[in-house]
Amino acid sequence: EPALVFDLGGKFDKSFNEAAYNGAERWKAETGGTYKELEMQSEAQREQALRRLAESGLNPIVTTGFAFGEVLNKVAPDYPETRFVIIDTVVDQPNVQSNVYAEPEGSYLAGVLAGMASKTGTVGFIGGMDIPLIHKFRCGYAEGFKSVRPDGKVITNFTGTTPAAWNDPVKGGELARAQKAQGADVIYAAAGGTGIGVLQAAADEGILSIGVDSNQNHLHPGKVLTSMVKRVDNSVYEAFKAGEAVEPGIKLMDLKADGVGLAMDDNNAPLITPEMTAAVEQAKARIIAGEIVPHDYMSDNSCPAD
């Protein structure tokens, strides 16, 4: 029986954790299997949770979020029989599969779309916790945006520097209003649960927003430009499907592997012009072809679009 551990923020964050949940549910619906799930309440619980799951013979154990990295590094060797899967960071252990996503690629596409949708030429980015991982989103987004609006401006804010930043919709909303006041008319929220506040405020203020991780277009139909989805659901689904035979090592989920992408559906269809679709498709093709390489912020902690 597999297990899935959600990070702080909880499985119904409409975002990252919920994507993982959807993957598990898809597996459950298809196979009729059951799985164990657990939500983190605090930083200090992670180790106990992992150990308890491993102790009770669950296998594989999927953990969502880079914050499990350090703990998993410590726990995995104690349970060599158990396979672990971690999402969003790399843990170098023989029984761990690390799923990492090409956030810059997906974000680049989001940036292209934002650039075309923006009337003011100013767009916003609201990140959750101020960490290199989120700068990856920001940097790709900025690059994509600049590719269509070279003179445009990207306003950036982060909600905080601690995990609480993932779960502060009030602050997210205030930041969105502040960005609107500064002229932004499309705001990309890479902020977990905080993003809900961003999307809400954007809808209230009559500007566009871009969701993240899960498809969030339905939250405010016609007001969310698109969502940069990370197919966390696929990672979870495949891990569950592989079961105890899940492959250790690094698994790169990029555009080519359909690991990241933009969500297009009925909810945002009225917002998307054929030109936009064409531009996005073209950028996507060039990225896959390697003609465009969106910069990975974490490779050198800098962003050429700044």
Partner 1 sequence: MDYGTILQILDSAVRLMTPLLLACLAGLYSERAGVFDIGLEGKMLMAAFSAAATAAVTGSVWLGLMAGVLAAVGMSLIHGLAAITFRGNQLISGVAINFLASGLTVLLGQSWFALGGRTPLLEGAARFGSITLPGAEAARAIPVLGPFYAEVVSGHTALVYVAALVVPGTWWLLYRTRFGLRLRAVGENPASVDTAGVSVPRLRWAAVAICGVLTGLAGAYLATGLSAGFVKEMTAGRGYIALAALIFANWRPWRALGATFLFGLMEAVANRYPELDLGPVTIPSMVMSALPYLLTVIILAGFIGRATPPRAGGEPYVKER
Partner 2 sequence: MTRLPRWADLVLVPLISLALAFAISALVILSIGQNPVEALKVMVTGALGSSYGWGYTLYYATNFIFTGLAVAVAAHAGLFNIGAEGQASLGGLGVALVALSLPWPHWGIALPAAMIGAALFGAMWAFIPAILQAKRGSHIVITTIMFNFLAAALLNWLLVNVLRPPGSMDPASAPFPETTQLPHLTDMAAAVGIEWGRNTPANISFLIALAACLLVWLLIWRTPLGYEIRAFGRSERAARYAGIRPTRIIVVAMMISGGLAGMMAINNVMGEAGRLLLNSAEGAGFIGIAVALMGRNHPVGIVLAALLFGFLYQGGAELALWTAIPRELIVVIQALVILFTGALDNMVRMPLGRLLGRS
Say which entry of partner 2, partner 1, none residue 167 contacts (CB below 5 to 8 A, set by partner kind): partner 1
Site string for partner 2, 110-139 (x = CB under 8 A): -------------------xxxxx------
Say which entry of partner 1, partner 2, none residue 169 contacts (CB below 5 to 8 A, set by partner kind): partner 1
Instruction: Name the residue nearer to partner 1 (CB basis): 143 or 168.
Output: 168
Say which entry of partner 1, partner 2, none residue 51 contacts (CB below 5 to 8 A, set by partner kind): partner 2
| 247 secondary structure, DSSP code | P
Query: Could you say whether residue 299 binds partner 2 (CB under 8 A)?
Result: no
Q: How far is the C-alpha of 129 from the C-alpha of 117, rounded, in Å? A: 27
List Cβ neighbours of 101 (8 Å cut-off, separation of 6 or more). 88, 230, 231, 232, 252, 253, 254, 259, 260
Contact pick of 38, 72, 139, 196 for partner 1 (by CB under 8 A): 196
Contact pick of 26, 74, 153, 177 for partner 1 (by CB under 8 A): 177
Query: Hey, what amino acid is at 146?
Result: K
Query: Could you say whether residue 48 binds partner 2 (CB under 8 A)?
Result: yes
Q: How far is the C-alpha of 190 from the C-alpha of 15, rounded, in Å? A: 9
Query: Could you say whether residue 115 binds partner 1 (CB under 8 A)?
Result: no
How many other CB atoms sit within 10 Å of the CB of residue 209?
31
What is the phi/psi pair of residue 59, to 5°?
A: -165, 125
Long-range contacts of 40-43, Cβ-Cβ distance < 8 Å, separation of 24 or more? 40/5, 40/6, 40/7, 40/8, 41/8, 42/8, 43/8, 43/67, 43/163
Say which entry of partner 1, partner 2, none residue 48 contacts (CB below 5 to 8 A, set by partner kind): partner 2
Q: Does residue 210 contact residue 228 with C-beta atoms inside 8 Å?
A: yes
Burial class (CB in 10 A: 0-12, 13-18, 19+), 257: middle
Find the part of the chain contacting partner 2 (CB under 8 A) among 16-24, 26-34, 161-169, 230-238: 161-169
Site string for partner 2, 80-99 (x = CB under 8 A): ---------x----------
Site residues, partner 2 (CB under 8 A): 36, 38-39, 41-45, 47-49, 51-53, 55, 66-67, 69-70, 74, 78, 89, 129-133, 161-163
